Chain A
Amino acid sequence: MKTLNMEAKQKETAKTVKISGAEAVIRCLLEENADLAFGYPGGAIMPVYDEIYKYHDKFHHVLTRHEQGAAHAAQGFARVTGKPGIVFATSGPGATNLVTGIADAQIDSTPLVCITGQVASHLLGSDAFQETDIIGISTPVTKWNYQVTKASEIPAVMAKAFYIAKSGRPGPVLIDITKDAQFGELDYSYEKCEKVRSYRAVPKMNAEKIQEAATIINNAKKPFIVWGQGVIIGEAEQEFKNFIEKTDIPSASTALGLSALETKHPLNVGMVGMHGNYAPNVLTNECDVLIAIGMRFDDRVTGNLNTYAKQAKVIHFDIDPAEIDKNVKTDVAVLGNVKQTLVEVMKLVDKADHKSWMSEFDKLYQIEVDKVINDQLNPTKEGLTMGEVLGGINKVSNGDAVVVSDVGQHQMFACRYADFIKSRSSVTSGGLGTMGFALPAAIGAKIGVPEREVVAIIGDGGYQMTCNELGTILQTKAAVKIVVLNNSYLGMVRQWQELFFDKRYASTEMISPDFVKLAGAYDIEATRVSKREDLEDAIKTMMASKEAFFLEVVIEQEDNVFPMIPTGATVSDIRLS
């Protein structure tokens, strides 16, 4: 029987050169076309940083102001480019500071290759300076992790790390390299990893299941699609569009699926979930067939599972077998990459027309416009709304910008109101809900796609969790457009306190520094808007700027996000006020 011994295989096949483990790390990255890392140096990773210095003409490093910022920046980079984000950190606190970003990447299926320095192998377990068990700490939040203690392991481990991070359902991997392994020498040669014997990246397609799915779809009277980030990760945007256009099925996105289909596509009926659109949430409980594509039935999408789409047959397309029947029992599970499975099912589905069913979505959308959307986009009250800021950005960007949002009310407004015309344009922390994500993620995104406009939408709370990363903007000149929607509250928690805790606003009122001055200290042009008549010009000025720009918009303090499905409620009981 064959066993996986990549080290031995390498020695047989490729020519070798003698280099240090640290140099091998950089050369492996270059072999994987990864010429950029986000990170922060420190004692145990210094040999690798020394090689970054030597390879400065080929390999670039972005110094963030905190390792958490490095992880989020790498996530932003990965989400807009589809390539793994590379992160460097030192041992101990450097490594532990990555954990939030790694956990965020794990739950949102974002490929990261994190490389941490570790104390020398003879010191492992001795409570040495800056020693921490990052393998133990990161195990539950990584797709794979590995501790390297010998320089000779590095090429095979790096190759495996890239393969695992990128393939199948992507995720973060962490490679912890002891300092002696970085200094040690090896006979270097590199061979890409194409398989790991214990790991099936993409499950086998099952023709019967595809046939079953097609039959159900062909017999459906009121079919409804909910798609997720799987469409984007699988680069299946075109296949998805072909499929929905042929079958004429109204389709709604999860928060992470946004931008896979342009916002104004006639079959795009909005977003599902707790603060999603009215029609797709209500009609989830009226459709006869629910087709889930590359999504995982998060509780923020489903509300109460006991009353979620019980009337419907459920077809679930996904790459991860562990997602099947995890939250919602499916009638047919179609495993595989949606880029392939959608093509196969396309061959078997009939061209259909669901106009009258679609008109039900239109009717409910009109109710949402009248009761919620108009008040947000064209408010008559004095205070500014978050919705009108997004509306203003749409007017200038025409939906062509990458919108990176943080976590909270402003995030839901960004997801609900930002227009998208291109895939990989919405970057947000979905599963983990990490406040402080947006600013560093936007920096990473801008560095990943410098030709695109990148707008970060952030609340006053989340902004102050990582606004140290303004220093990264100062140093890299990443031309990120930062919009802080400031309502002087931790708005989402305040909203819940208002609705469910009798307005006891415990620790949600927030006194903030002068954000304009703060941006100014980092040499970033900045302005504050508190009157409606100044908003449009301020947005135009910001978007026209070739450099980073900071815009603070003072928002009505008690603006709430609606619609809303209260926790544990049924999707169709979504509240409009």
Chain B
Amino acid sequence: MEEEQLYTVSVYTENNIGILNRLSAIFLKRHVNIESMTVSKSEIENVHRFTFVVNLSEVRIAKIIGQLEKQIEVIGAYYHTEDETIYNETALFKISTEHLYDEKLQKKFKFRRAHILTITERYFVIEASGSKENIDKMYERLKPYGLLQFVRSGRIAITRPKMAISEILEEIN
């Protein structure tokens, strides 16, 4: 059995209805869980970028890339290891205002990439960003204070190696 690891999958697509379904169906067909996903526009006009994070062996992720690339509206698909990727995730924590002046709590996020986004009479919201591990740690530390709400974004990632989408588009056209 090949060793599994986290891969960041970047998929450049047309911005059409239904592509998300088409891409996620490829993971579904192979019984692969998607750890996180984000969609946004990309550096190229009218081209969207999906970022999936999956835990798989390289053999399997390479085959999935083949299937992703095969989709008509996919321009290019790539996979990268953690070392090849600069990535970030953002999380929001909603906590009761009664804990706002708790020094212990303040210490827990002081030195991390976190700050208070808003304060109301009843609650305040902390925004934090970093790796999944950092945010998980913060989650564990803040949990005892009673999280009114918690949400974390999918990974956004920039890859160290080049992804030659513009070249592909020029070549076909």
Residues of A whose CB lies within 8 Å of any CB of B are 1-3, 135-136, 139-140, 143-147, 164, 195-200, 320-322, 324-326
Residues 159-173 of B contacting A (Cβ, < 8 Å):
166, 169-170, 172-173
Cβ-defined contact, B29 with A2, below 8 A: no
CB distance from B65 to the nearest CB of A (A): 9
Cβ-defined contact, B70 with A139, below 8 A: no
B25 within 8 Å of A (CB atoms) = yes
**Residues in chain A near residue B44, CB distance under 8 A:** 1
Cβ-defined contact, B17 with A147, below 8 A: yes
Cβ-defined contact, B66 with A321, below 8 A: yes
Q: List 7 A-B contacts (CB under 8 A).
A: A1-B169, A135-B21, A140-B29, A196-B72, A198-B73, A199-B73, A322-B66
CB distance from B29 to the nearest CB of A (A): 6
Binding site secondary structure of chain B:
helix
B157 within 8 Å of A (CB atoms) = no
Cβ-defined contact, A197 with B72, below 8 A: no
Cβ-defined contact, A320 with B70, below 8 A: yes
Complex Cα distance A146/B14, Å?
13
**Residues in chain A near residue B70, CB distance under 8 A:** 320-322
Given the contacts A1-B44, A1-B45, A197-B172, A139 and B75 also touching, CB distance less than 8 Å: no
Q: How many residues of B are in contact with the other chain, CB < 8 A? A: 27
Closest chain B residue to A195, Cβ basis: B172
Cβ-defined contact, B72 with A199, below 8 A: yes
Cβ-defined contact, A136 with B172, below 8 A: no
B22 within 8 Å of A (CB atoms) = yes
**Residues in chain B near residue A320, CB distance under 8 A:** 70
Closest chain A residue to B16, Cβ basis: A146
Residues of B whose CB lies within 8 Å of any CB of A are 13-14, 17-18, 21-22, 25, 28-29, 44-46, 62-63, 66-67, 69-70, 72-75, 166, 169-170, 172-173
CB distance from B72 to the nearest CB of A (A): 4
Given the contacts A1-B166, A2-B173, A198 and B18 also touching, CB distance less than 8 Å: no
Which of B14, B21, B70, B170 neighbours the largest number of chain A CB atoms within 10 Å of its CB? B70
Complex Cα distance A136/B29, Å?
14
Complex Cα distance A144/B73, Å?
9
Cβ-defined contact, A198 with B13, below 8 A: yes
B22, B46, B67: the one contacting A139 at CB < 8 Å is B22
Cβ-defined contact, A3 with B172, below 8 A: no
CB distance from B77 to the nearest CB of A (A): 11
Complex Cα distance A196/B172, Å?
8
Cβ-defined contact, B14 with A198, below 8 A: yes
Closest chain B residue to A169, Cβ basis: B70
Complex Cα distance A422/B25, Å?
39
| A-B interface contact total, Cβ < 8 Å | 61
**Residues in chain A near residue B22, CB distance under 8 A:** 139-140
Cβ-defined contact, B66 with A164, below 8 A: no
Closest chain A residue to B170, Cβ basis: A1
Cβ-defined contact, A322 with B69, below 8 A: yes
CB distance from A394 to the nearest CB of B (A): 39
Cβ-defined contact, A198 with B75, below 8 A: yes
Closest chain A residue to B23, Cβ basis: A139
CB distance from A121 to the nearest CB of B (A): 13
Given the contacts A3-B46, A164-B72, A198-B73, A139 and B169 also touching, CB distance less than 8 Å: no
Complex Cα distance A199/B71, Å?
8
Complex Cα distance A139/B13, Å?
16
**Residues in chain A near residue B66, CB distance under 8 A:** 321-322, 324, 326
CB distance from A200 to the nearest CB of B (A): 6
Cβ-defined contact, B72 with A321, below 8 A: no
Complex Cα distance A360/B13, Å?
51
CB distance from A252 to the nearest CB of B (A): 26
Complex Cα distance A197/B72, Å?
9
CB distance from B59 to the nearest CB of A (A): 9
Cβ-defined contact, A136 with B72, below 8 A: no
Closest chain A residue to B25, Cβ basis: A140
CB distance from B22 to the nearest CB of A (A): 5
Cβ-defined contact, A143 with B72, below 8 A: yes
**Residues in chain A near residue B73, CB distance under 8 A:** 144, 198-199
Closest chain A residue to B45, Cβ basis: A1
Given the contacts A3-B46, A144-B72, A199 and B172 also touching, CB distance less than 8 Å: yes
CB distance from A201 to the nearest CB of B (A): 9
Cβ-defined contact, A198 with B173, below 8 A: no
A145, A164, A200, A321: the one contacting B18 at CB < 8 Å is A145
CB distance from B44 to the nearest CB of A (A): 7
Which of A1, A147, A164, A320 neighbours the largest number of chain B CB atoms within 10 Å of its CB? A1
Cβ-defined contact, A139 with B18, below 8 A: yes
Closest chain A residue to B166, Cβ basis: A1
Cβ-defined contact, A326 with B173, below 8 A: no
Given the contacts A195-B172, A197-B169, A199-B172, A139 and B45 also touching, CB distance less than 8 Å: no
Closest chain B residue to A149, Cβ basis: B17
Q: A143-B72, A145-B18 are in contact. List 16 more A-B contacts (CB 8 A).
A: A1-B45, A136-B21, A139-B22, A139-B25, A144-B72, A146-B18, A164-B72, A196-B72, A197-B173, A198-B14, A198-B72, A198-B172, A321-B66, A321-B69, A324-B66, A326-B66
Complex Cα distance A145/B46, Å?
20
Closest chain B residue to A141, Cβ basis: B25
**Residues in chain A near residue B63, CB distance under 8 A:** 322, 325-326
**Residues in chain B near residue A2, CB distance under 8 A:** 173
Cβ-defined contact, A322 with B67, below 8 A: yes
Which of B13, B44, B62, B173 neighbours the largest number of chain A CB atoms within 10 Å of its CB? B173
